[in-house]
Amino acid sequence: MDQLPKLRWQCRRGTKELDLLLQRYLETGYLSADAEEKALFLELLTLEDDDLLAVLMGHLRLKYPQFITFIRF
Predicted confidence (pLDDT) per residue in 49-73, tens digit: 998 888 887 777 766 556 556 555 4
**Looking at the predicted structure, is the pLDDT value of residue 1 above 70?**
no
Predicted confidence (pLDDT) per residue in 17-47, tens digit: 899 989 999 998 888 888 988 888 898 899 9
The CA distance from 5 to 48, in Å, is 20
Cβ–Cβ under 8 Å, residues 7 and 26: yes
What's at 57, amino acid-wise?
Answer: M
The CA distance from 48 to 54, in Å, is 10
Cβ–Cβ under 8 Å, residues 44 and 63: no
**Looking at the predicted structure, is the pLDDT value of residue 11 above 90?**
yes
Q: Supply the DSSP symbol for 32.
A: T
pLDDT of residue 7: 92
Of all helices (H) and strands (E), which one includes residue 69?
Answer: none
Q: What residues does each domain of the chain span?
A: 29-73
